[in-house]
Amino acid sequence: MTPTLHTQVIMQTNIQLRLKQDLENVHNWLRAKKLTLNMTKTELMLIGSRQRLSTLTESPTFAVNDFQVSQVTTAKSLGVTIDDRLDWSSHIEKVTKKVASGFAVIKRIRHLVPQATSHLIYQAFIQPHFDYCNIVGGNCGITLRNKVQKLQNRAARVLTYSNYDVDAVHLFKLLAWKNLTCLQQIQRATMVYRSLYGLAPNYLSSKFERREIAYDLSYSYSGAILWNSLPCNLREAESLGQFKRLLKEEL
């Protein structure tokens, strides 16, 4: 049942009061430890679907020591851009721009250096943008995934001097590459192996427990599904190195 406007206002007011108290508690704790909350880096983000966010009657406001906390729709954390709808569109947009600028550099210098050197430049300066936090960002929608995959396809054509209409699958075999979906599966399965065999932090290992509710886009769910689909001999590999080798052969 959809809450009435009056109920929504009361709920928003209660939430704002609780968040304000939490922020004050954080501020007081830091002050007691003779630390300071950097207000220039403190931001507010409301996360939800487009429909839910549109039902807000007004945005919450917070202040600490008369310093107003600014509201944002995107925020960068450890190189990952998080948006208020968690659809990864902002993060992938930034990745796209970085990768595109890398392509421009390779196209300018590829006729001046051996092909092997161009490949090394790609692996050093472009591939890391595809790989970084792929386990999380790779859970975006199919449209965004296809957008990123087209970039990898373009990279294969640039490095092999191929025309735009050349089949990327053929070029991947020629370059001994795996597509981004396969690379994501390798990273996810490797992290599950680390988690199950005590090679990952506890906060990741604890993700793999039986739960009544599972979300098909979460790492704990998608990782478990992928892990269970692997052959027994792969899951029981004696070392991480052996697991990675067998995994690449399997995928």
Q: Which domain holds residue 219?
A: 183-250
Q: According to DSSP H, which parts of 64-208 are helical?
A: 89-109, 115-125, 127-131, 134-137, 142-159, 168-175, 180-196, 202-205
pLDDT in tens, 94-141: 999 999 888 888 988 888 999 899 999 999 999 999 988 888 776 788
> Do 108 and 169 share a structural domain?
yes
> Do 231 and 194 share a structural domain?
yes
82 bridge partner residues: 75
pLDDT in tens, 162-216: 998 899 999 999 999 999 989 888 888 888 888 888 888 888 888 776 555 555 5
For residues 75, 80, 86, 92, the Cα torsion angle rounded to the nearest 10 degrees is 110
In a domain, 234, yes or no: yes
In a domain, 209, yes or no: yes
pLDDT in tens, 44-61: 888 888 887 777 777 777
In a domain, 31, yes or no: yes
Q: Give me the pLDDT at residue 1, please.
A: 45
H/E run at residue 74: strand 74-77
pTM for this model (two decimals): 0.69
H/E run at residue 28: helix 5-32
> Do 53 and 23 share a structural domain?
yes
Domain termination residue (choose one: 44, 72, 100)? 72
- CB-facing half-sphere around the CA of 121: CA atoms within 13 A: 21
> Do 191 and 173 share a structural domain?
no
Burial 228-240 (b: 16+ CB within 10 A, else e): eebeeebbebeee
Please, what sign has the CA dihedral across residues 74, 78, 79, 80?
A: negative
Domain termination residue (choose one: 48, 72, 96)? 72
In a domain, 77, yes or no: no
> Do 167 and 104 share a structural domain?
yes
Q: Strand, helix or coil at 209?
A: coil
Domain count, the chain: 3
For residues 191, 197, 198, 200, the Cα torsion angle rounded to the nearest 10 degrees is 0
In a domain, 78, yes or no: no
